[in-house]
Copies of this chain bind each other. A is one copy, B any other.
């Protein structure tokens, strides 16, 4: 019955979050504090430029200031880290986002780890990763946290459920596996070397697709009644999930676009506002 099917609307979740954020921004402004997110874009990848612009626009809509640092594609790791250090030291900046991916010659991990933990609103530092795995991160990675927010917003039970995560990247598959585990799901993490992936996915009550391949997850991989979360975004405006096919067996599913994406951006801004609060208290 189509009425039993739940479409997990990320825009609805993001709009819900924005009410709280707007009131917090107003309080901060009364105190003379202007929350500010600095984004760093290295090179001229058009998709990355679009993401950075979307984040800046979302900040503007919420009254959060944003600074864009655009560096040429031939920037060295050292030069990038120098820019990050400037932002670390700038008291008017509350959050720093280094747009992933950076050009290949840059040591992305070293650059991520140059971001001070207080301003790591995107949750990309090595230390932040571990704190998240221990359930103690101030700012978990934004996409994993967006996934958790969607599940919670729609009252989807996590405890005791079998969650299957497809993907193991340090900013998505691994942290979302840890967050689901900390919420008492039984968690299976799959990847390109998984044998019989279809059978493993079929075990899942909750499926997280974070593999970065268009329409990768097929409809007949989904156990009837499972919840399907598509954290992918690929060329052609499609996710990692074959939405039309997976819609049928699932009990709930995120669309692409309009699923995880808007909540990820809202989470990033929420973290920036929270950071502004904390940094202003410690100032």
Contact = CB atoms under 8 A, between A and B. Distances in A.
A186 B191 contact: yes
A125 to B, nearest CB: 8
A203 B164 CA distance: 14
A52 interface: no
Contacts of A170: 133-134
A162 interface: yes
Contacts of A194: 160, 186
Contact of A134 (B109, B131, B159): B109
Contacts of A134: 109, 126, 129, 170
Contact of A195 (B133, B181, B186): B186
Contacts of A187: 188-189
A168 interface: yes
A33 interface: no
B186 A188 contact: yes
A159 B119 CA distance: 37
Interface in A131-170: 131, 133-134, 159-162, 168, 170
A144 to B, nearest CB: 14
A102 B202 CA distance: 42
Interface of A: 109, 126-127, 129-131, 133-134, 159-162, 168, 170, 174, 177-178, 181, 184, 186-191, 193-195, 200, 203
9 contacts: A126-B130, A160-B194, A160-B195, A161-B195, A186-B188, A186-B190, A186-B195, A188-B189, A203-B203
Given A184-B191, A186-B200, A187-B188, 16 more contacts: A126-B130, A126-B131, A126-B134, A127-B127, A129-B130, A130-B133, A133-B170, A133-B174, A159-B193, A160-B194, A177-B189, A181-B189, A181-B191, A186-B193, A186-B195, A188-B188
